[in-house]
Amino acid sequence: ADHFNLGSLDSSEAEQRMCAQVNLSAANLALHKSHYFGAAKYLSAAFSALNPESMWERDYVLTLKLCNTSALVHVCLGKFESSKLMACEIIANARRFEDKRLAFNT
């Protein structure tokens, strides 16, 4: 993921999406190792790779995973307001109740 993050994000939409996916995977690995600051760094890079105006429409599943993981990481870091904002983002944009369920527990 670090190699992706060193590269230019002026690449194609497919490459930007791949960068976001790789960073999400790295964030999940860091989260499982209780390295919350590292997970937050990778999540930030993943969000930066996507267009905030269209990420929910173009990359719904990826965006939902990023937001759920980000909300969890913020709780682990004690950043409860940030976690609450992420949960509100999920509730506002998720298409199905099942997709919103984790946000209600955050």
At 52-78, the pLDDT tens digits run: 999 999 999 999 999 999 999 999 999
pLDDT digits (tens, 9 = 90+) for 78-89: 999 999 999 999
User: Residue 8's pLDDT is what?
Assistant: 58
Distance between CA atoms of residues 1 and 14, nearest Å:
16
Q: Give the pLDDT band of residue 3 (cuts 50, 70, 90).
A: low
% of the chain exceeding 70 in pLDDT? 90
pLDDT surpassing 90 at residue 91: yes
**Three-state SS sequence of 38-79:** HHHHHHHHHHHHCCCCCHHHHCHHHHHHHHHHHHHHHHHCCC
User: Residue 10's pLDDT is what?
Assistant: 64
pLDDT surpassing 70 at residue 106: no
Q: Give the pLDDT band of residue 7 (cuts 50, 70, 90).
A: low
Where is pLDDT greater, at 12 or 42? 42
Distance between CA atoms of residues 80 and 59, nearest Å:
26
Under 8 Å between Cβ of 72 and 43 = no
